[in-house]
Chains A and B, each alone.
Chain A
Amino acid sequence: MIGKVLIANRGEIAVRIIRACREMGIETVAVFSEADREALHTQLADEAICIGPAPSPQSYLSMEQIISATVTSGADAIHPGFGFLSENSRFAELCEQCNITFIGPRSDVIRRLGNKQEARNTVMAAGVPVVPGSREPLTDPEAAAKIAERIGYPVIVKAALGGGGKGMRVAQSPEEFAAGFQTAQKEAQMAFGDGTMYLEHYVEHPRHIEFQILADQYGNTIHLGERDCSVQRNHQKMIEEAPSKALSEELRGKMGDAAVRAAKAAGYTNAGTVEFLLEKNGKFYFMEMNTRIQVEHPVTEWVTGIDLVKEQIRIADGKHLSYTQQDVQITGHAIECRINAEDPSHNFRPSPGRITDMYLPGGKGVRIDSAIYSGYTVPPYYDSMLAKLIVHAKNRKEAIRKMRNALGEVIIEGIHTNVDYQYEILNHPDFVAGDIDIEFIGKMSRR
């Protein structure tokens, strides 16, 4: 029975976990680096233990310090949050060895899903579609052309040793392929001294769709619907919403089934997320499975009414799932905007410093998960996310309006934030129309 949880994280997620524990009557232990003495999570928890200097390798990533703090404080479980040690199988294994409940999946499951190839093989065996590609390294253009035909156009040619876009070509047709393969190979030869190539189906203008999974230790696995996270800048998500405009009820069922199958095949327990790429034609492909709570979990919480962090703790404590698949009903529409301490006018460079004044919005259907307060100094050492602004309304149109209003009320003085940039996105006709894919931000900023 979990009576005391150590939260091996900082920022808003640590605060989020402390709140969930408090509601469940579970005591909390915060850990903090020397830079986070004044941080909200440090002050909010029942106890707080300093685990080292500001740089995360010496504090929030120091497994030994965190294990020691857990044993010393008498906590029986660790919640790793996201980032830091949350997907470190070694850390989960250490917890197992020390008889500490790790609030997440088993270490062997984390290890398996952390390995791209192994994860791919596991879900493929369960009949979950993955991006078709050549398993064998290719050097001969003619043999490659045959495989391209089999994979289906468009295809992307990639250098085995590639990186930085060198030795990469997209071909829409067999005619383009012949030339493209040779140019890419030549480029690879020049850049990496090796002309070994791989082929993959090129997923055009995909959306990033992920499914939230919950699984208990007794083989019950359900999905909580999808989140559309296509609004990304340099692979960093900026806005997430649920449900996705691109999913019909039928497709949601199909993808949800696939997500559950993937989780079951991996022997998954606790909360997790299965990420897919979704093509315009409705074809979808497994990308990876995240073995932790996600930043964007509140949108799912709002449309399903399920408290994911509480469920995580219950599952880790050996309880059965509180819900069946039939219980899960999607209601209304939720959107989350990440508010970061960064300066959009200077290529989004981080903007740490003291928050001199602030005002955050509220009202019906507005939720803020944050760890900032007036007078708080944002340290330069960690992630720049300050707050998550989440809204919920009857439908997407109303949710967008609510989000615009909420963003319009956010006041954070003393540092730069991306609030105005988010406001712009919320007013962009393509976003409003729901006509977005993962290239949306790139196209928008080029304009």
Chain B
Amino acid sequence: MKLQNMFKKTNRRNRVIQGNARPEVPEGLLRKCNKCGAAIIADEVREGNYICPKCQGYFRVHARRRIEMMADTDTFEEWDAHLASCNPLDFKDYDEKIKALQEKTGLTEAVVTGKAKIDGQPVALGVCDGRFLMASMGEAVGEKITRAVERATKERLPVLLFACSGGARMQEGMISLMQMAKTSAALKRHSDAGLLYISVLTDPTTGGVTASFAMLGDIILAEPNALIGFAGPRVIEQTIGEKLPKGFQRSEFLLEHGFIDGIVRREEQKEILGRILKMHGSPMKTVCEGSAAAHKAAGETTVRKKAGSAWESVQISRKKDRPVGGDYISHLFTDFIELHGDRYYKDDKAVVGGLAYFQGTPVTVVAQAKGKSTKENVERNFGMPSPDGYRKALRLMKQAEKFHRPVICFVDTPGAFCGLEAEERGQGEAIAKNLFELSALKTPILSVVIGEGGSGGALAMAVADEVWMLENSVYSILSPEGFASILWKDSKRADEAAEVMKLTASDLKELRMIEKIIPEPEDFTEENMDVVCKELEFLLAGFQEKYWGMEVEELTERRYQRFRKM
């Protein structure tokens, strides 16, 4: 049955419209989302971090508002507020344009700098304002940023810049171009002084700003779906005569390609930034006595007799339900913040790394990460790192060196990824570079082999002050299958090979290649890994006590000798 036009309608009463109080939407109550076009309630946008409640699109946030969102109440103190552009090229109509923008925005230039506190942590803060000539960088912007960075270097403050820019300012020609060099140089000095710089990229960050201060952060974060690139997408399309793929030059694209450490939603930004600043702000804590004493009590009970044959260890080390790198990170450390990317090509998911606390002290953790399911294993390439993975690991370790954070590595890989792309991007070079750099890294390094220690792919993360192994983990020149096939032309004799290769923890302890063996429970899984983690925690506390206060020369000399003797 169709009901269209079947029903009688209301018999209208004589309507008297009283007064002029007709329903209407007051000005400013609703607004239109410039991304999805939907009508939205202005208050909801304001209260919701300027994110469209309908399409989750991000509205651009101007400088003052951003400072209000990030800085602790009443802590912002502006620097160089008076600095403005003085039209260095006498560009026509430029003065008038600047003046009009100054009146409209209440700003003197396209960036606001100063000092603030974020969750109680002091920081030199700079925020670009897109309303001002698309926050393009002319001399005033470059100067303000440079001065802020210089002052931060002098006052030993971390720097936090929120980038948003169309690039260099055309009206100021070559003077604009030089701001790229000037700001970068100031950041280099800030960095050499051992200070932290966090860059947050917002929509859009392009051109000369991307190619200078925006991409120089020790840690680079981005807002979701922000346009980030050097050349603008339209220019690229015109040049190459092709349509660009969806999502090209967006934050997610950059994350995948290894250029940013992470994408942080607005509602979490302040908390994450506060945590990162705190991790870089507090001096190293001394080892608490309890854990050191406990460690001593634990003593050398860690060396136990070998459980079964070498081949059994090989099989156990490969078991699907054996705890993986990620499990150790979540069980042994707190407040883990994952940092992504090698800053060259990709974020390799076979390596997971980032910042965390170990018993209250900031550390850098890097783990070769197998997956826990087939799907995750495909994503993580079964724990076989590509060159990008080793480069990410090295990047994070160099960062640890800069901030005097110890490095803790978890090794668990069948081997470095064997494939076309890996060779194209220099698998051998990447591994070699890690051996080279790690040998002299000026901060303590500990490597723990938790599963398979597959050859050079493992060693690239095990040039350490000490190497420990779990009871049933293995560490070898190559897989027993490979060994048998090369020497005996029969990969089926892998079990035999395993026995002669000396790849078990106890074999390697005897050969003095490793320092400690951590016992495992039977049928070792994440369920019962607490006992292993407890032991690891004791031992780590001991490692901390022994190495974390050591003079750099002694530390690197010891590490040199450790391998020199082999």
Q: Known contacts being A3-B17, A38-B3, is A94 close to B41, with CB within 8 Å?
A: yes
Report yes or no: B24 in contact with A98, Cβ–Cβ below 8 A.
yes
Residues 144 to 190 of chain A near chain B (Cβ within 8 Å): none
A334 CB contacts on chain B under 8 angstroms: none
- Closest chain-B Cβ to A3's Cβ sits at a distance in Å of 4
Is A1 a contact of B1 with CB atoms below 8 Å? no
Chain A's closest residue to B12 (CB) is: A27
Chain A residue with Cβ nearest B3? A43
Cβ B25 vs Cβ A98 within 8 A: yes
Residues in A neighbouring B16, C-beta threshold 8 A: 1, 3
Could you tell me if A44 and B39 are in contact, using CB atoms closer than 8 angstroms?
Answer: no
With A3-B15, A43-B3 as known contacts, state yes or no: A27 contacts B25, CB within 8 Å.
no
- Among candidates A1, A65, A373, residue contacting B18 with C-beta atoms closer than 8 Å: A1
Pair B10/A98 contact, Cβ less than 8 Å: no
CA A22 – CA B26 in complex, angstroms?
30
How far, in angstroms, from A27 to B10 measured CA to CA in the complex? 6
- B41–A44 touching, CB < 8 Å: no
State in angstroms the CA–CA spacing of A3 and B12 once bound together. 9
What are the interface flags for B14-28 relative to A under an 8 Å C-beta threshold, 1 for contact and 0 otherwise? 011110011111100
Query: Does B6 touch A at the CB level, under 8 Å?
Result: yes
A108 to chain B, nearest CB (A): 16
Q: Which residues on A sit within 8 Å (CB–CB) of B3?
A: 38, 40, 43, 373
Residues of chain A within 8 A (CB-CB) of B39 are: 64-65, 68
Say yes or no: B7 contacts A44, CB within 8 Å.
yes
Mark out the residues of chain A between 54 and 87 whose CB falls within 8 Å of any chain B CB in the assembled complex. 63-65, 67-68, 70-71, 74-76
Partner of B29, one of A27, A40, A44, A97: A97
Nearest CB of A to B527, in Å = 14
Determine if B10 and A22 form an interchain contact, defined as CB atoms under 8 angstroms apart: yes
Interface of A is mostly: mixed
A1 to B14, CA, bound (A): 11
Cβ–Cβ contact B24 & A46, under 8 A: no
- How distant is the Cα of A40 from the Cα of B24 in the complex, in angstroms? 29
Asked whether B305 is an interface residue with its Cβ less than 8 Å from the other chain, the reply is: no
Q: With A3-B15, A373-B3 in contact, do A25 and B23 touch (Cβ < 8 Å)?
A: no
Contact of B21 among A22, A46, A70, A99 (CB under 8 A): A99
Least CB distance from A32 to B in Å reads 13
Contacts of A74 in B (CB 8 A): 22-23
Q: Interface residues of B: mostly helix, strand, loop or mixed?
A: loop
Q: Are A97 and B1 in contact (CB under 8 A)?
A: no
Residues of chain B in range 20-67 having any CB-CB distance to chain A below 8 Å: 21-26, 29-30, 38-41
Q: How far is the CA of A398 from the CA of B18 in the complex (A)?
A: 50
State how many residues of chain B have any CB contact under 8 Å with chain A: 27
Assess the A64–B38 pair: CB atoms within 8 A: yes
Give the complex CA separation of A28 and B21 in angstroms.
20
Contact A71 B26 (CB under 8 A): no
What are the residues of chain B within 8 A of A99 when measuring CB–CB?
A: 21-24
> CB-CB < 8 A to A115: which residues of B?
none
Establish whether residues B23 and A46, one from each chain, have CB atoms under 8 Å apart when the complex forms.
no
Q: Which residue of A lies closest to B22 (CB)?
A: A99
Q: Is A26 in the interface zone, CB < 8 Å from B?
A: yes
State whether A67 touches B10 (Cβ < 8 A): no
Q: Would A25 and B13 be within 8 Å (CB), given that A76-B23, A99-B21, A99-B22 are in contact?
A: yes
Q: Which of A3, A25, A64, A75 contacts B41 (CB 8 A)?
A: A64
**A391 interface hit (Cβ, 8 Å):** no
B7: A residues at CB distance < 8 A = 43-44
Q: Is B11 an interface residue (CB 8 A)?
A: yes
Say whether B104 faces chain A, with CB atoms less than 8 Å apart: no
Assess the A67–B25 pair: CB atoms within 8 A. yes
- Chain B stretch 200-241: residues in CB contact (< 8 A) with chain A: none
Alpha-carbon separation in the docked complex, A386 to B23 (Å): 34
Contact of B10 among A46, A63, A65, A68 (CB under 8 A): A46
Q: By the criterion CB–CB under 8 Å, are B9 and A46 in contact?
A: yes
User: Any chain B CB within 8 A of the CB of A100?
Assistant: yes
Q: Which residues of the partner chain A approach B21 to less than 8 Å between Cβ atoms?
A: 99
Contacts of B10 in A (CB 8 A): 21-22, 25-28, 46
A49 to chain B, nearest CB (A): 14
Known A3-B13, A22-B11, A67-B25; 18 more pairs at CB < 8 Å: A1-B18, A3-B15, A25-B11, A25-B12, A26-B10, A27-B10, A38-B2, A38-B3, A46-B9, A68-B25, A68-B30, A74-B23, A75-B23, A94-B41, A98-B24, A99-B21, A99-B22, A375-B2
A sample of 19 inter-chain contacts (CB < 8 A) reads A4-B15, A21-B10, A25-B10, A25-B11, A26-B10, A27-B10, A28-B10, A38-B2, A40-B3, A44-B7, A64-B30, A68-B30, A68-B39, A71-B25, A76-B22, A97-B26, A98-B25, A100-B23, A373-B3
* A interface residue numbers (CB < 8 A to B): 1, 3-4, 21-22, 25-28, 38, 40, 43-44, 46, 63-65, 67-68, 70-71, 74-76, 90, 94, 97-100, 373-375
Closest 9 A/B residue pairs (Cβ): A25-B13, A64-B39, A3-B15, A43-B3, A375-B1, A100-B23, A46-B9, A99-B23, A22-B10
